[in-house]
Amino acid sequence: MTHAERLLSRARAVAVLGCAVSAITLLAPACSPSHADTDIATTATVLRVVDGDTVDVVDDTRGRLRIRINGIDSPEVHKPGYSVGCWGPQATDFARTTLTGQRVAIVSDPSQDAHDRYARTLAYLDRPGGWDFSIEAARAGAARSYIYEHHPAARTPQIEAAESEARQAERGLWGPPCNGRTESVPVK
C-alpha cells in the first residue's frame, strides 16, 4: 500500500467515524436514560438529620436549608406532646447513616409545593447513580409512602413499589414489634 493509499484509507476511516458520532449525537436524546440511570449534579451537603424524613443541608448557592423529603413519612421522634412512634429512632438512624456528610442533589417536584407550612423546602435527595433517599428509605422499612392532600408526588409509584417490597419482607417498621403501626399518641 502506497503512502497516498494509506492516507486515503485513514481519511475514509475518519469520515466513517465522524458519521457514526453524528448519528449517535442525533439519536442520544431519543435514548436518554431514566432517572435511575442519570448522573446528577450534587449541590448540597447533608449537615444534620432531624428525623427520618427531615434533614438540614448547606446548599452551594442557597446556603442552609431544612429539607422535608418528598414522598415519604417516617415515624415521629420529635412531635411535642406526643410519644415517639414505633421505629422512629431506627428510621432516624437510617437517615443519619445514609445521608450525614453526603453530597446530594436537591430535586424539587413540580407536582408538589416548594415549601410546607413550616417553611421547610420540599424536595427529594438524590445521589449520583440514580440513588433516591425516598425510595431507599421505603425499601429499608424506614419510611412509608406519603401522599399529601391527595396529590401524589411524581415518584410515588417507585416509592410505593419499594414500600411493598419492605412490607412483603416484613422489613423495618413492617416487621415486629411495629407490624406497620407507628402512630404517635398524646402523652399526659
d(CA 92, CA 74): 8
d(CA 18, CA 24): 10
- Per the CB < 8 A criterion, the answer to whether 142 and 172 are in contact is yes
- Per the CB < 8 A criterion, the answer to whether 63 and 148 are in contact is no
Judge whether 181 counts as a catalytic residue. no
Judge whether 127 counts as a catalytic residue. no
Q: What are phi and psi of 74, to 5 degrees?
A: -110, 160
d(CA 143, CA 71): 10
User: Among the options 5, 68, 136, 170, which is catalytic?
Assistant: 68
User: Among the options 62, 120, 139, 144, which is catalytic?
Assistant: 120
The 3-state DSSP composition of the chain as helix, strand, coil percent (nearest 5) reads: 35, 25, 40
User: Among the options 62, 76, 139, 183, which is catalytic?
Assistant: 76
Residue 35: count other Cβ atoms within 10 Å of its Cβ: 15
Q: Among all residues, which ones are annotated catalytic?
A: 68, 76, 120
